[in-house]
Amino acid sequence: MRPVSTPLCLTPGTTHRSTLRIMQPTWVYKPVTSITAGAPVQLQVLGHGIETDSWPCWLAGVQHMPELNRDPPRERPHRMRVVDADTLEINNISATGRQPRGGELRYQPPVDLTGCDAEMHLFDRPGGATLMTLGLGTGLTITGPGTIERVIDADQAIPPTASWYWLEVRYPDGTEHRYWEGPVTIGDA
């Protein structure tokens, strides 16, 4: 598996905070059994299986409210809030006065990160010298299924010669996956 090439922009003296999602390659398809005509819009999806708020999801086939439909990967996903095991909410969309119905929820489930370790390195160039390392408890936190939060605090010294990074996850069985890598841009302080 090739890592995703994602640029990383850092500005000295500011806090960098980002949430990284790791998804399984297979898709889950669940029928939408009802949609509330209120604000924010809520969807009944029996046993949806989503455990983490803001998990990326798409909808297809919703009638009478086409703005809910999104086609992966061409369109950005909705960020769902988990209300309960059968209900999801899209906070930035109102269905007040509308009569949406039907459709299908589509998403890639999160990778199980239980017992995993994560590490990110900043380098002076691809394959070059390590200038800075983040690990669990030192800038990286596994916050839920398939979710890693990365924080570089404003008081951390960002090496001015950093130009490349990668982030790897080590699984309990010893398997290592490099999920992200890319160029680093250092902004003005």
pLDDT tens-digit map of 108-137: 999 999 999 999 999 999 999 999 999 999
pLDDT of residue 73: 83
Is the predicted pLDDT of residue 43 greater than 70, yes or no? yes
The third-level CATH classification (topology) of the domain covering 4-22+112-186 is Immunoglobulin-like (2.60.40)
pTM: 0.89
Cα 136 off chain centre by: 17
Every domain of the chain and the residues it spans:
4-22+112-186, 28-107
pLDDT of residue 1: 73
Is the predicted pLDDT of residue 178 greater than 90, yes or no? yes
Q: What HEC string does the chain produce? A: CCCEECCEEECCCCCEEEEEECECCCCEEEECCEECCCCCEEEECCCCCCCCCCEEEEEECCECCHHHCCCCCCCCCEEEEEEECCEEEECCCCCCCCCCECCEEEECCECCCCCCEEEEEEECCCCCCEEEEEEECEEEEEEECCEEEEEECCCCCCCCCCCEEEEEEECCCCCEEEEEEEEEEECCC
What CATH number does the domain located at 28-107 have? 2.40.30.180
